[in-house]
Structure 1
Amino acid sequence: MHSLEFDISSSDLIKVAIAVFCGAVLGLERQYKNKTAGFRTIILICLGSTIFTMISQRAGQGVNINLVTGVGFIGAGVIFKDNISVNGLTTAAVIWVAAAIGMANGSGNYMLSIISTFVTLLVLVLFHIFEVYLDKINHEKLLSLVFTNADFDNLLMVENIIHKHKLRLQRRLVNKKDDCLQAIIFVTGHKKHIAQLDEKLLTMPEIKSF
């Protein structure tokens, strides 16, 4: 009978520890923002990529690039699209980067994996603040309007009000249903002005719902 031999070196334990640390750093940020792939998921992705890379190197295959394809399936699972927008792209990118960090760590590039982790965290935190600012000054909203009648002048009046609130608009759809005019308008501009527009629309008797 052949005895089982467990060949675990101190460098292997270091790689596992760094993988858990790097995954935890990125996972905490995702968990804090209540994203689909949170704390445990990112840790396991980073750790799994590390272990697969270690196994590949011991088998004499170097870094297993097929990991990128496998992680791509996981990333695709957190992306979902509705009629207006696509969500989950940033989380999918974090999953992809976490796998790359795990591969770097598994191949022995400890500093690269640690530095990449904090650079990624920096991008997620600082650029999120920048995105919030951009969204504030250039906010987007899709208005679906239903008027009380089929008078086209009511739509022109609403568009004039939108312009008066210093907003830009794109008329996406106009139709009539049950003798009521319906319109979909894409509005962009300062978030404060869009909020003021909402208040104005709420007080207009010509609008049945929006």
Structure 2
Amino acid sequence: MENILAFFSNPYIIRIVVAILCGSAIGLEREYRNKAAGFRTVVLICFGSAVFTVISVMLPGESDDRIAANIVTGIGFLGAGVIFKGKLSVMGLTTAAVIWATAAVGMMAGMGELQIAGFLTACMVLILAVFHKIEIVLTIFNINKTIYINFEEASMEQLYAFEKLAKECRISYKRKLIEKDCGAASAVYDLSGSLKSLHTLNEKMLSIAAIKSFSYS
């Protein structure tokens, strides 16, 4: 029993346990939102960063800064792996930022700055949970969307008609792509405007026979 207590009272073990707890708090939020980097992934990132930092501290002489630098480099590659660049959009940037910031929390715990690690964890959970709601509120006043539209015919008049409709609904637009296939046409636009204006645009588009279908990303 005494050996077990002595083991868990080891300052390095305490640092790693704190890193696991910090990673768990962040990971729960990510798992709840069903993100690519979920609970186990985030915990392991925080745990691994703390372990490597502890190793650098345990090395003879002064701590080896090269290990910390390599942690940052390795996390950069891991974060890049969750970023998906589509034809016209990029996804996963927030998840990559979470991975990067979680590694920093783990490194802080590995250095023995447990209070700072706990504070940074609370800040991350606050940013991810509360600021997400702020973003939702902001969309009432302005929202940016990419719309994919399929037209019945490959006619520029149909595109001009849509653009005129967007202006009438007070929606700013930027044409990104036009494609023609088997007599039909498709177009991609970046739209910007209030949520109410976007709903108005959607309702009017549903009544236009020239538009076969449309979707957002």
TM-score, normalised by the number of residues in structure 1 = 0.85
- The 5 A counterparts of 1:170-189 are 170-174=174-178, 176-180=180-184, 182-189=186-193
Asked if structure 2 preserves the Cα contact closer than 8 Å seen for 1:104 and 1:113, the reply is yes
- Aligned partners of 1:162 and 1:204: how far apart in 2? 13
Aligned to 1:43: 43
Say if 1:152 and 1:181, in contact at 8 Å, map to a contact too: no
The residue number in structure 1 matching 2:22 is 22
Measure the CA separation in 1 of the matches of 2:96 and 2:154: 45
* Structure 1 residue 30 displacement after superposition: 0.7
Change (3 A) 1:163 1:16: same
The match for 2:170 is 166
Give how far 1:179 is off: 4.1
Range that drifts further, 104-113 or 22-31: 104-113
8 Å contact from structure 1 (residues 144, 185) kept in 2: yes
Residue range with higher mean Cα deviation, 166-175 or 94-103: 166-175
Q: How far apart are the structure 2 equivalents of 1:184 and 1:49? A: 42
Q: What is aligned with 2:34? A: 34
Deviations 1:62-118 (A, max 9, x none): 152211111112111111111232111111111111111111111111111111111
Q: Where do 4+ consecutive residues of structure 1 move more than 6 Å? A: none
TM-aligned CA distance change 1:170 to 1:137, over 3 Å: same
In angstroms, what is the RMSD of aligned CA positions?
2.2
Instruction: Give, in whole Å, the separation in 2 of the partners of 1:129 and 1:165.
Output: 26
In 2, distance between residues paired with 1:141 and 1:42? 29
Which range moves more in the overlay, 60-69 or 147-156?
A: 147-156
Cα shift at 1:176: 4.9
**How many angstroms apart in 2 are the aligned matches of 1:134 and 1:84?**
24
CA distance in 1, matches of 2:13, 2:158: 70
Matched residue, 1:194: 198
Distance 1:52 1:189, change over 3 A: same
CA distance in 1, matches of 2:88, 2:204: 23
User: Partner of 2:13 in structure 1?
Assistant: 13
Deviations 1:20-41 (A, max 9, x none): 1100011011111111111111
Take 1:44 and 1:105, find their aligned partners in 2: how far apart are those partners?
14
Match of 2:128 among 124, 130, 143: 124
After TM superposition, give the deviation of residue 208 of structure 1 in Å.
3.3
Match among 97, 112, 122 for residue 116 of structure 2: 112
Which sections of structure 1, spanning at least 5 residues, go unmatched?
A: 1-6
**The 10-residue stretch of structure 1 (119-128 or 39-48) with the greater mean CA deviation from structure 2:** 119-128
Report deviation, 1:185. 2.9
CA separation of 1:165 and 1:94: change in aligned 2, threshold 3 A: same
For 1:102 and 1:142, the matched residues in 2 are separated by 37
Identity of aligned residues (%): 41
CA-to-aligned-CA distance 1:40-64 (integer Å, 9 cap, x gap):
1111111111111111111135152
Aligned to 2:146: 142
> Structure 1 106/209 Cα, relative in aligned 2: closer, same or farther at 3 Å?
closer
- Which runs of no fewer than 5 residues in structure 2 stay unpaired? 1-5
CA distance in 2 between partners of 1:105 and 1:175 (Å): 52
Offset of 1:148 from its aligned partner? Answer: 3.1
The answer to whether the 8 A contact 1:18-1:105 is kept is yes
- Secondary structure at the aligned position of 1:78 is classed as coil
Distance 1:159 1:120, change over 3 A: same
**CA-CA distance at 1:145 after TM superposition:** 3.3
